[in-house]
Amino acid sequence: MVVASNRAAAGIYPDRTGPIIAQWLAARGFAVEGPVVVPDGDPVGATLQDAAEKGLDLVITTGGTGISPTDRTPEVTAEVVDYHVPGLADAIRRAGLPHVPTAALSRGT
């Protein structure tokens, strides 16, 4: 579980989404490592590469998928991932739209 957040990684505010997602996954029987909070961009890619080298079957990321120039999670993820499931990102955006209209701007992959 990787959280891409420049401000949370810098200690400006606490990460709130990572623990919620990790708890949700654990309650459904998944073994969860993290959340690990890192700045967006290359640190996300390095964390994903470390997870791949550890042999983790799945890594969930949150954050860093907006339209800001610093939101580079999709790009660094593409460098590491070997199996894309594009419909999943579409479903997440669709589920988020009724609650957060800007969900349509997510570049999650």
| CB-based contact 8:37 (threshold 8 Å) | yes
3-state percent breakdown (helix, strand, coil) of the chain, nearest 5: 45, 5, 45
pLDDT for the residue numbered 28: 97
Q: Rounded to 5 degrees, what are φ and ψ at 92?
A: -65, -45
Distance CA 100, CA 109 (A): 18
Domain ranges of the chain: 2-84
Taking the chain (109 residues) in runs of 10, the rounded mean pLDDT of each run is 96 96 96 95 96 92 88 91 86 92 85
Q: Looking up tokens 């390095």, which residue turns up?
A: 46
Give domain 2-84's CATH number out of 1.10.10.10, 3.40.980.10, 3.40.190.10, 1.10.1840.10: 3.40.980.10
pLDDT number for residue 89: 87
